[in-house]
Each structure stands twice: as C-alpha cells, then as structure tokens.
Structure 1
C-alpha cells in the first residue's frame, strides 16, 4: 500500500472521486443492461430498503477508520515532540559545571540536521538505516559517553548526560518504529467494499431516471471518494501528503546554532 499512500493529495482526491463516479455510472448502465425489462419495477423495491443500511455501514466504517488514522497522526506528532524535548534536555545537561559542552552540542546539531534531511520521509524514515544519520548518532553517543566517563565530572552529572542521551536514542527508535507502520489492508478493503456497495445501490435506485436526475447520486459518490482519499492521506505520516511536522526539532536546531543553550555565546 506504500505506493498508494505516498501519492500527492491532489492525485488521491482526483483518483477517489473518479473511481466513485465511474462506479456510479457503470452501476446504472449495468442494471439497465442486465435486469430483464419485466423485472425493472422490482429493482427499486429491492434497493430502496438497502440504502439506509448500506449508508449506516459505510458511515460507521469510515468514522472508525478515519478516527484511528487521525489518532495515529497525532501520536506521530507526539513522538516528534518527545524527541525534541529529549534533545533539549541533553543540550541543557551538557551545560552543567565541568562539562565540555561544545563537542556534545556540535554532535547533537549534526544528528538533528541529518535526521531532518535524510530520515524524515520515504524508506529511510521507516528503516532507520541512513548512513549519514547513523554516523551522526554514533558521534553523539561517543561524545556524550566520553564526557560522562571523565572522573572529575561527578556521578550525578554523568548520569544526567547518559540519561538524556538514552532519551534521545529511545525517541528516535520510537519514531522509526512508528514510521514503519503501514495502514492495515483490511481497513482499506472494508471501507472500499462498503463504499462501492453504497454507490452501486444508489446507481441501481435511479437506473430508470433521466440522466439529469441520475446526477443526484454524484453527492453520495463524492462523499465516498473523498473519504477514501482522506483515509489514504492520513495513513502515512512519514510517506504521504500529510508529513509530520519537524518544527519541534527545527526549533532545537535553531537554538543550537544561535548558542541559546550556552547562554548565547
């Protein structure tokens, strides 16, 4: 599903609407062609009672699925905020007395810039195997651990540095794990089937109407198509149209560059 969720928002909207409207047109034509003339009067009797049931089923499936994916998007944004908070904590911990903050701040800045440039979208976001980011996090690990191992630093300060470093690496791993998640295929199949069944039923309902009157089902088709497009757009926060904002990390990068964490020096 990655190729589908990675499409631009415009492509998803146009594709969803086109599919839904095409199904509506084909449903009307198919009923006219396949149902014997003598049974045309029975078609509205059959499909009319089904409309409320199919409409309710699609509404429930759409609401549950979209709520789940929107919650996942919010959770992804929370992970980025946690990583930014951990980075800020490490930057401040490096300003403790007798700590040489410069190498730690430089390594942290390199890591954050590499993560934003190389690990924020696409396959690298889900795999976490970008070489530049891996080298940057390794340099950060060495810088912090070398500083924490100095005897004159003291136990509490060294512990704070290591705990802050652990928070940064743990937050990164949580982000990578979240980015590797794919939208459950059953979500898509269930929503598509229920939506298409609703459109087909609506097309059958107006198969004897004039073409102008049949355009009334375009509203149902549009709702179904847009719902599918929205689901696909929300389901890939690191690979789709709605990429998770990296502003929290960008703010830390700006603070490191400006010298905010070392008093503006």
Structure 2
C-alpha cells in the first residue's frame, strides 16, 4: 500500500515502522510542523491509496472534510470528535468515499468489547453489582477520558438499564446510582490501560486490557487500511471484525 501519514507522533511512528516492515510505502507525511493543507488538491497526498490519520481532535474534522472532497479512503485513529459521528457519516456517504474510525485498533480491546457485551445481560439480573470504568495513559495524551473508555462506557449504558448516564467529572459527594463513573489518570509513558470494575456486595470482578506497546494498535490500523481500500461507506472497526468472524465461522465450522 501507498500510505499518507497524518500525525507523526508516537502512534504515527509505530505505524510507519511496521508499515515499512510489511513492505508498504509512506508517500506523504503531515504533522503540526507541516500541517495537512486541507484547502489544496489531492496531489498533496502523492498518490496515496489510503490516509492514516492519528492527528489531534481540533483539526481532524477539517481533515475528514478534505478526504471526502478528495475521494481518498481514510483510517481515523484520532478521537475527540465523536459528537459529530452522524454528520460525518452523511458526509462520507454523500461523497462516495470510505472512512473507518476507531478509538482503539487493538484486537485485545475488540475481545474485551465482545466479553462485555456477553456479560451485560447477566449483570442486568444482578442489581447489587455496580460498575465503573477507569483508564490510564501517558502524560502527552490530548483527550480525557480516552475515546476507548467512553466507548466502553457507552456499551455499559446501552446494555444496562440501571445505568442511564456517564459521569466523567470528579465526585466530591455521593454519586447518583444511575451514573456510570468514568475516570482517568495521566502518568509517565503508559501506552494504555483500561479497566472495567464490577463491584458486588461481597466481591469484585475486574476486566482489564493493558497494552504493552503501540505495535498492537499499529498492526490493527494497517489491517484496517488494507480492508478499507476499494470499499465505499462509513465504517467502524467492528464492521471489519464482524466480516472476519463471519468468514472464519464459514471456513472453520464447529
């Protein structure tokens, strides 16, 4: 693949390193020192097959508008813009291009989501169990809570009737019973740790994903890019994973 890399921070560097190992070519790079010229034409991407955007929340929407105008597939790993999902969906579909977004490209997080979805119907029948979400990231992370933590929180609120809203602020008094508390810590060089706590009157169950490095995220993002090329539409990582699981179940029936 010929890739345009938008955002050359730690994640962008991990993608570039792994892409080169896989035989892919980085044909364009943009960052805060050399911003993506969103008002230029598609030639600035030097013939890239797909854009990998791991930039910053305050610029990513303008980037997406440009990708749609240029009709170039884009993988978006930047978070902090999900309040505009439906608006972006309409834009992508109207333009006839392709966009895949995810707050986290780790296969481990995908497994965690699957486990959580299976567990929530059981917890619905166990009202004494309360839940929380906590995430830890490095001090340079731009958004808080992380997009992954909010994604997990929305799964819980959507799947558990006793939790009807997400609370991300510090609580200096009693928290409402219908609020799901989502908290964050920023420290050192932590790549990412997401914890779901399930607290009962006599015990606690903890589901946790701990990323050892950024390579797992980079590998997932590159897989998403390969899957996206040649498609049209607005996708999440779940769409790719569901297709893989469907093929796997047909190829390897039990």
TM-score, structure 2 as length reference? 0.26
When you count strand as a share of all residues, which structure comes out higher? Answer: 2
Question: Larger RCO: Structure 1 or Structure 2 (Cα < 8 Å, ≥ 6 residues apart)?
Answer: 1
Q: Which structure's CA Rg is the greater one?
A: 1
